[in-house]
Structure 1
Amino acid sequence: MSSYKKQSLGTKGGFTLLELLIVVSIIAILSVALVLVLNPAETLKKSRDAQRISDLSTIKTALGLYMTSTSTPYLGSASANTACKATPTTAYGTTGATVKLFYSLPTSAGTISDTTLDGSSVTTPASQSGTPSLTDGTGWIPVNFDTLTGGSPISNLPLDPVNAFATGDSVSTVSSASLIYRYACSQTPLAFEVDAQLESIAYTSSENKRTTDGGNNDNLYEVGTNLKILGTGTDF
Structure 2
Amino acid sequence: MKDMMNTSKRGFTLIELLIVIGILAILATAVILILNPVELFKQARDSQRISDLATMKSALAFYLSTVTGGSLGTAGTCYVYEPAGATIADCGGRHAAASFSKSAILLADGTGWMPVDFDDVPGGSPLSVLPRDPQSSAGKFYSYVGNTLAGTFEMNADMESGRYGSGGKDDVESVDGGDKADIYEVGNDPGLNL
TM-score normalised by the shorter chain: which range applies?
A: 0.7 to 0.9
2:79 corresponds in structure 1 to 102
1:223 paired to 2:171:
no
TM-score, structure 1 as length reference:
0.73
Task: Give SS of 1:203's match.
Answer: coil
Deviations 1:67-94 (A, max 9, x none): 0101213111xxxxxx21xxxxxxxxxx
Residue 158 of structure 2 aligns with which residue?
197
Gaps of at least 5 residues in structure 2 are none
Corresponding pairs, count: 192
Post-superposition shift, 1:7? 3.3
Counterpart of 2:81 in 1: which secondary structure? strand
2:105 matches 1:144? no
Cα pair 1:42 1:200 within 8 Å, conserved: yes
Counterpart of 2:81 in structure 1: which amino acid? S
Change (3 A) 1:114 1:223: closer
Alpha-carbon contact 1:106-1:128 (below 8 Å) kept: no
3-state SS in 2 of match to 1:193: strand
One-letter identity of the residue aligned with 2:182:
N
Quote how far apart the aligned CAs of 1:64 are.
Answer: 0.3
TM-score norm. by structure 2 comes to 0.88
Shift of 1:114: 4.1
CA distance in 1, matches of 2:91, 2:26: 52
- Unpaired runs of 5+ residues, structure 1, are 77-82, 85-98, 166-177, 232-236
State whether residues 49 and 203 of structure 1, in contact with CA within 8 Å, keep that contact through their aligned partners in structure 2: yes
Distance 1:73 1:211 in 2: 31
User: Which residue of the other structure, out of 6, 13, 38, is the alignment partner of 1:9?
Assistant: 6
Match of 1:74 among 48, 71, 74: 71
Distance 1:62 1:194, change over 3 A: same
Matched residues in 2 for 1:162 and 1:119: separation? 21
Q: Root-mean-square deviation (CA), in Å?
A: 2.4
- Paired with 1:185 and 1:42, the residues of 2 have a C-alpha distance of 33
1:15-26 alignment runs, 5 A limit: 15-26=12-23
Please tell me whether the aligned partners of residues 95 and 193 of structure 2 are also in contact (alpha carbons under 8 angstroms).
no
**Structure 2 SS opposite 1:195:** strand
